[in-house]
Amino acid sequence: MKKKILIIIALIMVISTIIRTAIVGFSFFNFSNQLITNQTLLIKELLQETIDKNRFIDIIKSSHHIKCIKFINKRVSEINLKYDLENKEIIAVAPFNSNEALKIVFSGKDYFDKLINAILQIVFLALISMIIIILILNYYLTPYLEILEKVKHSTEKMLKGKFDEKLNTKLKGEAKEFVDAFNDFVQKMNNSFGVIEKKYTTLIEKEKSNDPLNDAKETIEHLANIFQFKRIIEEDLDVQSILQRLIEIIKTFKISNFAIIGIDNNEKNIIFNYIQGDICCSVLENPNNCRCYRLNKEINSIKTPKVCQLHFCQNDYICLPFSSSGNFSGILKINIKDKNILKNIPYIKAYLNEISPVIEAKYTLEILHSQTIKDPLTGLFNRRYLESILPTIIASAKRREEKIGFLMIDMDYFKKVNDTYGHEAGDIVLQTLAEILKSSIRKSDIAIRYGGEEFLIILQNIKSLEDAKEVAEKIRKNVENRKIHIKNNILQKTISIGVSVFPIHCNNALECIKNADTALYKAKNSGRNKVVVFKEELKTI
């Protein structure tokens, strides 16, 4: 920087010298022009008034500064001056009369010598001035420029996250105050950035980069987004909603090949899966074979090639577990086809860390809620759940003008099972019946343990009464044909079923259930192991 400043000052001095020289030369030139013009006019006037012009010319020629004077046959309208630098002469041609002009050749030696001396003096003084000024500036500017150089060097180090370089100077006054203020600023930056870096590195596992300040800015922005994300998912209703938000977050990182899998740790089965692109993995076939799930740790093929046997492609991949300490485990698998996505892995891990406690709490609540609405023995919904959904089901059917079938089911002679084989055998029979019921109906239909050995099936959106009868007969046959192994014995049980259909047989849910129960009573009293459809005359029996 110092060299640049001194060079600039030297250039300014040179330019100013050239300008001053030009001004002096121009002024000298104008003065000489005026002087020569005046002398030429004076000689011309004297010649015009002199009778003996030749004698007068001879006298003028004897002047040391006039080399030649003569008349020439040339018409000119004004005095013309010409400078002959080679011969150091000034030639003046002035109009004398209508036919002649007066030509006077002046010696310009003194003129040119004085002009050169003046220019040399200006250049010499300018050179001396420039040297003196540069020496003075160099002496006084050097300490200040050294401070600026140190500030520049220190700033470059700060941009790399190093705040350990302090300035020092022998100057006093404002320069010393500036140095002290800068050192104080660097110290505060060192303390503040150290704390910030320590805080965000505990939240995001990220390696230091060559641009720590920009890295800190980017990380803090991501942390703010993660904090906002956590606040949003805390207000979501269920696990599905949270996982959908996680999917959108992954997409914002421009990751095109990934899978998110949710596993129930109690049942060891997949309850959620989302796949985008090609993940090259057979984890969905059996999650228990997943190394990430089984070991509950990150699987990184970049660090450990071919670590997972379920991955069947040649590219690299990363599997990240989340929320794996309780009832729910999540796995995020990223198929790495673009190495640039690796820089975003620490941020994705941070999102997973924040999502884990929230999703675990939500899933635990879902399990608890499920336990309150499901029968623990059969896994079917209980009467509490039935009471909560009946108004919605009937209202929806009325709005859409749909039919709903109600099948009331009772195990025939169930008490004999308990009396003969014990209550444990009775539980097995009920569990078997529940399995048959679930496998015999659609996913949209609802199976409920109504009480004891009584079960209720709600068939949603059926086309006719015949549909309900067909499903009821299918269930009856499936139960009749099922062999149940109990204590070296094989049991074959039967069921009786009563059927009512909304709105054919009833106007509301409770009436439908009551009518189906009436039909069931008829089935049991008329021989059992049969399906009876409700009729109005059954009410009088």
Quote the pLDDT of residue 224. Answer: 86
Structure confidence at residue 265 as a pLDDT band (50, 70, 90): confident
Look at residue 205 and tell me if it is in a domain. Answer: no
Look at residue 150 and tell me if it is in a domain. Answer: no
Q: From CA 211, how far away is CA 209, in angstroms rounded?
A: 5
Structure confidence at residue 499 as a pLDDT band (50, 70, 90): very high
| pLDDT average, residue stretch 114-124 | 77
The angle that helices 2-49 and 109-159 make with each other, rounded to 10 degrees, is: 160
Question: Dihedral angle at the C-alpha atoms of 243, 249, 255, 260, nearest 10 degrees?
Answer: -10
The DSSP element (H or E) to which 185 belongs, if any, is helix 174-203
N- to C-terminal Cα separation, the chain: 112
Quote the pLDDT of residue 268. Answer: 84
Where does a domain end: 47, 81, 116?
A: 116
- pLDDT (tens digit per residue) in 150-175: 777 777 777 666 767 777 877 788 87
Residue 1 has pLDDT above 60, yes or no: no
CATH number, domain at 472?
A: 3.30.70.270
Q: From CA 24, how far away is CA 509, in angstroms rounded?
A: 116
Are 346 and 222 within one domain? Answer: yes
Are 395 and 425 within one domain? Answer: yes
Are 378 and 523 within one domain? Answer: yes
Residue 196 has pLDDT above 70, yes or no: no
The residue with tokens 């010499």 is: 124
Alpha helix positions (H), 70-173 = 109-159
Are 165 and 236 within one domain? Answer: no
Where does a domain end: 116, 145, 178?
A: 116
Quote the pLDDT of residue 455. Answer: 97
Look at residue 121 and tell me if it is in a domain. Answer: no
Quote the pLDDT of residue 130. Answer: 76
Quote the pLDDT of residue 2. Answer: 60
Task: Give which of 466, 465, 464, 468 is closest to 442, Cα–Cα.
Answer: 468
Residue 468: Cβ within 10 Å count: 26
Are 175 and 310 within one domain? Answer: no
Are 222 and 362 within one domain? Answer: yes
Quote the pLDDT of residue 68. Answer: 82
Q: From CA 447, how far away is CA 298, in angstroms rounded?
A: 41
Quote the pLDDT of residue 541. Answer: 61
Least confident interval from 181-195, 249-263, 418-432, 507-521:
181-195
Structure confidence at residue 496 as a pLDDT band (50, 70, 90): very high
Are 344 and 444 within one domain? Answer: no
Look at residue 154 and tell me if it is in a domain. Answer: no
- pLDDT (tens digit per residue) in 292-334: 998 889 999 999 988 888 888 888 999 999 986 678 999 999 9
| pLDDT average, residue stretch 471-480 | 96
Quote the pLDDT of residue 192. Answer: 67
Are 387 and 357 within one domain? Answer: no
Look at residue 207 and tell me if it is in a domain. Answer: no
Residue 511 has pLDDT above 80, yes or no: yes
Task: Give which of 531, 518, 510, 323 is closest to 412, Cα–Cα.
Answer: 531
Do residues 383 and 451 make contact, with C-beta atoms less than 8 angstroms apart?
A: yes
Quote the pLDDT of residue 205. Answer: 66
In Å, how far are 70, 113, 219 from 86, measured between CA atoms?
22, 13, 79
**Residue 75 in tokens:** 């018409």
The sheet carrying 495-502 orders its strands as 446-451, 454-462, 403-411, 495-502, 531-533
Quote the pLDDT of residue 532. Answer: 96
- pLDDT (tens digit per residue) in 421-468: 899 999 999 999 999 999 999 988 999 999 999 999 999 999 999 999
- Number of domains the chain contains: 4
Are 192 and 98 within one domain? Answer: no
Size of the chain in residues: 541
Are 270 and 365 within one domain? Answer: yes
DSSP 3-state of 65 = coil
In Å, how far are 203, 400, 430, 465 from 462, measured between CA atoms?
54, 12, 27, 8
Q: From CA 320, how far away is CA 347, in angstroms rounded?
A: 12
Look at residue 125 and tell me if it is in a domain. Answer: no
Quote the pLDDT of residue 381. Answer: 93
**Residue 280 in tokens:** 């090259």
Quote the pLDDT of residue 194. Answer: 63
Residue 95 has pLDDT above 60, yes or no: yes
Look at residue 151 and tell me if it is in a domain. Answer: no
Are 348 and 458 within one domain? Answer: no
- pLDDT (tens digit per residue) in 358-377: 988 888 888 877 778 899 89
Q: From CA 485, how far away is CA 491, in angstroms rounded?
A: 6
Are 414 and 521 within one domain? Answer: yes
Residue 487 has pLDDT above 60, yes or no: yes
Q: If you average pLDDT over each of 105-119, 131-145, 204-218, 501-515, which comes out highest?
A: 501-515
CA atoms within 13 A on the CB side of 102: 23
Look at residue 501 and tell me if it is in a domain. Answer: yes
Bridging pattern class, strands 328-336 and 258-264: antiparallel
For residue 6, the enclosing domain spans 2-116
Q: Please, what is the average pLDDT of the chain?
A: 84
Cis peptide before 503 (omega within 30 of 0): yes
| pLDDT average, residue stretch 244-260 | 93
% of the chain with per-residue pLDDT over 90: 34
Least confident interval from 126-130, 194-198, 391-395, 450-454:
194-198
The pTM of the full predicted model, rounded to 2 decimals, is 0.55
- pLDDT (tens digit per residue) in 23-49: 776 777 777 778 778 877 887 777 777
